[in-house]
Structure 1
Amino acid sequence: MTTRNELRLLPWSGPEGKPCYLSTDDKGGYMSRLADNIEADQLNTAAVLLERTSNTLDDQDADPEELRRLTAELTGTLRDVLRVATSRGHLLGVSEPPRGF
């Protein structure tokens, strides 16, 4: 039986928001490549959003609704990046970050 430490946390959630895992020895397989590409997209989105956030926060006339939207986007993106970091940490044999971060 495959242990949880041998599974790769995928960059998307399953039903009811539960984590999805991949069990494979083929790091070049279709699902592994798909996960790698989605992780790369998520990290790129985070970099773009970080730049946009910096510009918005520098704007003294930023609309409160725009700031709420930006906060919602940051929350989702941070969740994605944390999932990537957790997944890669598992691949490296590093323990999962504590809950609440």
Structure 2
Amino acid sequence: MTHRRVPALASEGKSVTIVSPSPNGVVSRLADEAENRQVDGAVVFLGVTAPMIEAGKLTPEETAYLFREARTHLRDVIAIAESRGERLGVVPDPVDDDEDEDDDEG
């Protein structure tokens, strides 16, 4: 059995874990398709919004809306990257905030 974390498929936007008899089975393929749709959505969002942002004519409300949407897409893409990293056995280095502070004192 294969356990796989799938980001943002639950109604609360939290990741869920699926169990599949095969890493290439139907459930895993459906999870791959869902992740691909999330990544594709982020790419489309960037393509559509870039000219709007560059034009510099957005209202504060429009800018806030785009920021919220960008945050959602970024959260989804990061979750996908983390999930795929887990499946590859990649463990990210923890972020050390103290290290950044030392560089600033310099």
Q: Which of the five TM-score ranges fits, normalised by the shorter chain?
A: 0.7 to 0.9
Corresponding residue pairs, total: 95
Q: Is the 8 A contact 1:56 1:62 kept in 2?
A: yes
Once structures 1 and 2 are overlaid, which stretch shifts more, 22-31 or 12-21? Answer: 12-21
Aligned to 1:62: 58
Give the drift of 1:14. 3.8
Task: Go from structure 1 to structure 2 and tell me whether the alpha carbon gap of 1:97 and 1:20 turns closer, same or farther (over 3 Å shift).
Answer: farther
The answer to whether residue 37 in structure 2 is matched with residue 7 in structure 1 is no
Q: Deviations over 1:6-58 (max 9, x none)?
A: 63111325475543112334123222111100100001011111122321211
Q: Which moved more, 1:90-99 or 1:34-43?
A: 90-99
**Mapped contact 2:5–2:17 kept (Cα < 8 A):** yes
In structure 2, runs of 5+ residues without a counterpart are: 96-106
Q: Indicate the structure whose relative CO is greater, using CA pairs within 8 Å and at least 6 residues apart.
A: 1
Aligned pair 1:19/2:15, yes or no?
yes
User: Which consecutive residues of structure 1, in runs of 5 or more, have no partner in the other structure?
Assistant: none
Structure 1 stretches of 4+ with a deviation exceeding 4 A read: 15-18, 96-99
Higher Cα Rg, which structure: 2
Q: CA RMSD in A?
A: 2.4
**With structure 1 as the length reference, what TM-score do the two structures score?**
0.77
Q: Percent identity?
A: 36
Q: Report the residue type matching 2:71 in the other structure.
A: T
